[in-house]
Structure 1
Amino acid sequence: MTLEILTADSLAPLRHGFFTRRGGASSGVFSGLNCGPGSSDQSEIVQINRARVAEAMGVEPMCLVTVHQVHSADVVTVTGPMGERPRADAMVTATPGVVLGVLTADCQPVLFADRQAGVIGAAHAGWRGALDGVLEATVAGMVDLGAERRRIRAVIGPSISQAAYEVGPEFIEAFIDDDRGNSRFFVNGEGGRYHFDLPGFGLHRLRQAGIGQAEWTHHCTYGDPERFYSYRRTTHAGEADYGRLISVIRL
């Protein structure tokens, strides 16, 4: 099956893409393009999937760089292929030919570019990382490499939508304690529960960081099992594990 790659006009002409699960070699609960080495999928199959992504981006597999994601606000500056994956949740680079990749399964994959400066970034932004400032840290890392905030474009890829993201009262407290205005990203659910707008929160934080443009592709990972992996959907189904989507960008 052919790979399916979602793109954004605002990042063109840079090569980039939010890959769906279509076109991969994995089977079972991972069926499709599972690119997560942290999953229990066969490592050889994951490497085949990642090689297909690298080929689609026009590079050798070693030039596809990902990190060991830990829901932090830590950013790594990448200058070339890396050996062991550092623990972080975002990367920035000004090095042509390096493909930055983030893995997600409901969290926000965010791709950044200042095309004029030749600086790009990629971030994994779940609720914890977004609240702790991973998006702002990615922008700051790009500025350190010569980007200008007003020229940076950021696109949030397939993520869990508000309708599918039910949370408890202890969850909302963390956001209200940080900023009472964050209450606007929650709506009432049933039984004292709430629904959280993760992409809306991400867009807010990006715009507050002063970048030129921020958008979401409006694809919900939870609601489209044919195209996307979803941690929450897997949990509700009682499945043992789940695949990871990959989103990439290169100069």
Structure 2
Amino acid sequence: MGGVLRVEPLWVETFTGLRMRRFEGLVKVVRERGGDGSGGGRPWCLPLAERVLLVAVYYRTNLTMRQLAPLFGVSTATVCRVVRRLGPLPALEPVRSSAPGVERLWSVDGTLVPVRDRTVGASSRNYRFSANVQVVVDADTRLVVAAARPAPGNRADAHVRRASDLPARCANAKVLADGAHINTGLAVPHRRRPGRPLLRAQEEGNAEHRRVRARIEHTFARMKNDKILRDCRQKGDGPHHAVQAVAHMHNPAQTG
């Protein structure tokens, strides 16, 4: 039986948020990373573009593999194999640090991703079992620069960032952060102290800081249109691959 979803502009734009030419670029990236190989077994029953669409639909809708199978006219086992094989390939492209003397303005913050795997997450302040994902966003373009590997959600943002590779990636950039990152070398808001009100210039600086940092919250909201980040059923490295793929698809969608 044939599937319902095909690589057509309507389905691609609905389930990936990408224009057709951007989706073709995503397929090209997956192909260059080895996604078109059979892995030594029998050939795939779906062409590469439809397999990439299947993975995108899985991340976007968070449907179960049993629900996805009839949409693409394949078995549940095939859906599982496609997700396992191609899921890690649309990872976010690494961004090089700025050259000395060229300053970039980036923003970093953490977001909680509810997970099912208790080796990845922990009981968190959102009253769910979640993982803390630290994300760096370019404050000018609102593109995701980097996303750290998920850590248990009960860990502080500053601790998770220090334990990740984000400090090295942000070496030559000015990075804005919230008050949870105090004493980390990042640009944080001025703090009020008892009996020492903030100066007018400091208040204005905090207002500008909040205005710029709001962009990363907007980015989190757009990324979580992909429902895999609202309830991730993947285990092991699955949540990490999901965050990387969603960030990768967010960037071209943001640029149109």
Assess same fold via TM > 0.5: no
TM-score normalised by structure 1 residue count: 0.29
Q: TM-score, normalised by structure 2?
A: 0.29
Q: Which has the larger radius of gyration?
A: 2
Higher helix share: 2
